[in-house]
Structure 1
């Protein structure tokens, strides 16, 4: 009887230690590289309006999905939404985008991203914070996108990559 109680107690401790080790293994390092693959689909399709000088302005609302290539929790298996203002100059073949994205993970923790895509410059976003495990998260990211051939008329889709570094800033 004493031996069975001891075995149950040792088994409980082993399970507890395994759980703690698993939780610690999944924690987010305080800083590191970011390499994320994402998809974006505008919902609904944007409707540009002329703003003079041959330029067009529209608002983009995009459904997003992101996966961290290394499995790090930063932007891993997160759904999101981005909203951008877009100014296009078809004659000059330039596009300028400004906006924000919010991603959420399975636990409900969010990241907040601010993006500025300017003609002739790399597409840049930065993570400017988050909630829960992402509180204090900051990142500088370079964004590349590749348009996909879509079988939905009027709907464009892209796959892209976010590369850069992140760190956690102290919050009060």
Structure 2
């Protein structure tokens, strides 16, 4: 019986050594996986930092370009408005105190052509906006408006923008 116990004990010791070896191998594999994961994380963080820096550069360049464009529009004598497909004024790119504004800027922004202009002029401009958006090309029109008691003629080019709006 003691031979059986000794044999069983040797067998259990061998199983224990095998389990310990497997555990060491598993720990080594875990450490290798963790170091690879740490290296991948560092690479990802470097890539993220590079992307963030690039975005900041692009954002700075965009701000400069916007400032330059706003300065250009402010210096222009022409009246430049952005309208959506329904003819609603989204913004006025030139001076909001421009002498050729038919109504005050605060009144025009957010309103449609038909809320601001006489019916026939509103129809003409709205139809031209639709044509510019449909054809994807600028449309030239002429019309007049009474401004400060004087009939003023406008030679207007309506240009489509990529987001279903137009510059008039």
Q: TM-score, normalised by structure 1?
A: 0.32
The structure where strand makes up a greater share of residues is 1
The structure where helix makes up a greater share of residues is 2
Find the structure with the greater CA-based Rg: 2
Q: Which has the higher contact order (CA 8 A, sep 6+)?
A: 1
Q: TM-score, normalised by structure 2?
A: 0.32
